[in-house]
Amino acid sequence: MKNRYFLYVLFLYISFFNINFVTANELEFNVSEIIISDNGNIMEAKKGTATSLIDGINIDADTFFYNKSASTLTALGDVKITSIKNDFLIETQSIIYNTYKKEITSQDNTLINDANGNLAEAKAFFLNLNDDVIKLKKMKMTDLQQNIIKLDIAYINLNTSNLIGKNVSINLNNKTFNKENEPRLKGVSLNSDLQTSILTKGVFTTCKKNDDCPPWQIQASEIRHNKQKKTIYYDNAWLKIYDKPVFYFPKFFHPDPSVKRQSGFLMPKFADSSALGSSLNIPYFNAISDSKDLTFTPRLYFDQKILAQTEYRTVNAETKNTLDFSFLSNPEGNNQSHFFSESQKELNFDGFLDSELYLNFQTTSDDTYLKTYKLESPLINNTSTLQSLIGLNLYKEDFSFNTEFQVYENLNAQKIDRYEYILPSYTLSKDLGYAFNTSGTTTLLSTGHVKNYNTNILESSNINDLLYDSDYGYSGNGLQKNYKILLKNTNTKGKNSPSFKEKNDHTIGSLFQYNMSYPLIKSGTEHKDFLTPLTTINFSPNKSKNNKDVDTRIDTINIFSLNRIGDSQSVEGGLSMVYGLEYFKVNMDNQNVLEAKIASQMRLEEDKNLPIHSTLGQKSSNIVGNFVINPSDHLNLNYNYSIDENLRDTNYQSLSSTLKVNNFITTFEYVNENKSQENSFLSNETTYNIDDNISIGFNTRSNKETSLAEYYNLIYQYKNDCLIAAVEYNKDYYSDRTLKADESIFFKLTIIPFGETKSPNLRK
């Protein structure tokens, strides 16, 4: 009876006080409740920690069952295992710990955090504390780079973080590829440490996941992912398109998706033309440093010509430089080259928001070299005119200044007359604000240049404009009014010039412009209508400069401006009045459904010095107009015109239209300039999307002057998130000295994100 009473008191004591209890196998319990039975062989504990001093682990759980004779500890409920030796955390719902074999097992879902920040999930695990290797079933791990690794069976060394396993799938963190891409690796087995992951019989692709095979993939006997260099290497690799092998690489490598820029070969390209023959481009990108890189592109022709092009770039906080140059080695001895450069330097002048010095330089050894070999670069935007210059920009809130020294070379002109020098030019603008205490702003604009062209023609000019622009005022009946006053001082001198006098010439001109409009609005349930009559009166006591041969066209925009003829050196003389209408129909989404503008001019006296083609010098000018209709998202139409006052002869027409009907999109542009057939053309671009991936399209343009097509292109294309495959037919009808008409048909393949390659010309 006394023994029973003693055990009862001991049970109450253990139940209501946290105790420490050490077993013979060096398990230390720090729990809130312990029940011991079977002569001390069985122990049950609640809410606490079991620590193995020998194995160096702590186990937190809701409930412990310890069987001394079987050397097993069962832990249940929110189980957490931490290591004293190597920093890891295991979380699960139940474990069995064999203290004799030093093994811990669980058949429940488990989370593992290792010392390197990797997080793994598993359906079950087995941990051997002798070598600190944990075996996981159906493991999913997220590493520090946010790559997701999945394995059917995985073994992780908790000391070294080495990972091995089979049936591996790795979803790579997509930082730099197309956002629609899903870059990933798959393989039969994986062996990974902190530096390298090795997959056997592996596959890589960036294509979106679906039930079918990816549009493209690289399959290799071994794939190595160097985590330090952030590069993926392949041995015995095949590029497969829809599971069909198309290209073999004994060795191949590329940056992983976390890399924005890294040295390496880019996608090679084939090219073929009837004029130049077949060639192979093998571009190489070199990331020299964080602020410098270059792209070297050798183009190897099958007739032994070699064209080597290099683009060098450097960018830092205050400077930016880009160089592009090439050299063509021809076995026939006709070597050619080009050199383009573009540089900017931030000067950080005090008192200016922006102060920049910039330099451009362009040269080529042959007039048609850039066109013939179709050289591509961000610096090459014109293959007919070269421009070299040095300039300075200064800017602050109310002041700006720009000066340039420029040299132009017209590659289409004769050698002796192809150069034009502007040494120098400048533009200065100063916002005087409300300097004269009036209800309007005043701006001072000064420009000037010294120009030499056609070998012996020299011109210099200095132009100073003082412009006052009044604030808008409104009369009681809603009439909107505004006026502008322009004072112009022009100083010129020429030598052999068709425009300037041989001696210093100084003129002062003035122009007064008065603008009136009467905005009218009508609101409906579905649309709003805006109708605005417009009137502008221009008056200058000066006589117009002789600009009758200047090719200037007026439209509904510039007919109301101060400088309608584009001549900064003079003002338009006499008295004239421009009148017109603007109409807009706007839907409830504030989108213009219909626009219409029409305007014309009346002049008190005819002025034969104004450009003839513009008709501004006539007593009644052409009627110019613009008509835009957007009835829906499927159709838009834009029509510009210029018609004689007799309404019979059309001097200019421009019609552009886009039609979208389901998967069919076609765009037309027609320009008919009766005074200049050279600028009259008809172009069309049409695309039909057969489905979400397949489309067929063509584009062409014909010149009205020659009544011939300039080019014709036809393309059949398959496109998805990671691959573009196309068959293209191109025909150019032009010729220019060494540049001849060309016709080609080829297959083009773009592997996203690696680049584009082409087949040789299939039309031989």
Q: Of the candidates 114, 43, 92, which has an alpha carbon nearest to the alpha carbon of residue 72? A: 43
pTM: 0.71
- Please state, in angstroms and as integers, the Cα–Cα distance from residue 25 to each residue in 28, 355, 370, 644, following that order: 9, 78, 85, 110
Residue 746, pLDDT score? 80
How many domains does the chain divide into? 3
Q: Please check whether residues 152 and 171 belong to one and the same domain.
A: no
Residue 262, pLDDT score? 73
Q: Is residue 722 part of a domain?
A: yes
Residue 74, pLDDT score? 95
Q: Please check whether residues 175 and 142 belong to one and the same domain.
A: no
Identify the sign of the CA torsion 22, 26, 31, 36.
negative
Q: Is residue 201 part of a domain?
A: yes
Q: Is residue 87 part of a domain?
A: yes
Q: Please check whether residues 172 and 237 belong to one and the same domain.
A: yes
Contacts of 121 (CB under 8 A, 6+ apart): 109, 110, 111, 112, 139, 140, 141
Yes or no: say if 544 and 574 are a contact pair by the CB < 8 Å rule. Answer: yes
Q: Which domain holds residue 17?
A: 1-161
Q: Please check whether residues 84 and 197 belong to one and the same domain.
A: no
Q: Is residue 629 part of a domain?
A: no
236 sits in the region (left: phi over 0; alpha: psi -120 to 50; else beta) called: left
Contacts of 175 (CB under 8 A, 6+ apart): 257, 258, 259, 260
Residue 48, pLDDT score? 92
Q: Is residue 217 part of a domain?
A: yes
Residue 268 phi/psi, 5° resolution? -70, 155
Yes or no: say if 311 and 322 are a contact pair by the CB < 8 Å rule. Answer: yes
Residue 13, pLDDT score? 42
Rounded distance between C-alpha atoms, residue 629 and residue 636, angstroms: 6
Residue 175, pLDDT score? 73
DSSP letter string over 550-617?
------TTGGGSS-TT--TT----EEEEEEEEEEEEEETTS-EEEEEEEEEEEESS--TTS-TTTTTT
- CATH code (residue 59): 2.60.450.10
Rounded distance between C-alpha atoms, residue 537 and residue 516, angstroms: 9
Contacts of 578 (CB under 8 A, 6+ apart): 534, 535, 536, 537, 538, 559, 560, 599, 600, 601
| Bridge pairing between strands 216-226 and 231-241 | antiparallel
Q: Please check whether residues 153 and 54 belong to one and the same domain.
A: yes
Q: Please check whether residues 25 and 107 belong to one and the same domain.
A: yes
List, for the chain, all residue ranges whose pLDDT scores fall below the cut of 70: 1-25, 176, 274, 435-437, 675-678, 706, 734-741, 763-764
Last residue of a domain, one of 143, 161, 179: 161
Coil, strand, or helix at residue 753?
coil
Q: Please check whether residues 142 and 242 belong to one and the same domain.
A: no
Q: At residue 156, what is the residue type?
A: I
Q: Rg of the Cα trace of the chain?
A: 40
Q: Please check whether residues 153 and 233 belong to one and the same domain.
A: no
Q: Please check whether residues 146 and 204 belong to one and the same domain.
A: no
Q: Please check whether residues 66 and 155 belong to one and the same domain.
A: yes
Rounded distance between C-alpha atoms, residue 219 and residue 186, angstroms: 9
Q: Is residue 36 part of a domain?
A: yes
Task: Assign 3-class secondary structure to 607-621.
Answer: CCCCCCCCCCCCCEC
Q: Please check whether residues 9 and 133 belong to one and the same domain.
A: yes
What is the chain's length? 764
The count of C-alpha atoms lying within 13 angstroms of the C-alpha of 32, restricted to the half-sphere facing its C-beta, is 8
DSSP letter string over 425-455?
EEEEEEEEESTTSSSEEEEEEEEEEEEEETT
Yes or no: say if 365 and 336 are a contact pair by the CB < 8 Å rule. Answer: yes
Give me 3's structure tokens: 């023994």
Q: Is residue 635 part of a domain?
A: no
Last residue of a domain, one of 262, 297, 318: 262
Q: Please check whether residues 168 and 45 belong to one and the same domain.
A: no
Give me 262's structure tokens: 């890294």
Q: Is residue 353 part of a domain?
A: no
Last residue of a domain, one of 136, 161, 186: 161
DSSP letter string over 154-191?
EEEETTT--EEEEEEEEE---SSS-TT---EEEEEEEE
Residue 9, pLDDT score? 39
Residue 648, pLDDT score? 79
753 sits in the region (left: phi over 0; alpha: psi -120 to 50; else beta) called: alpha
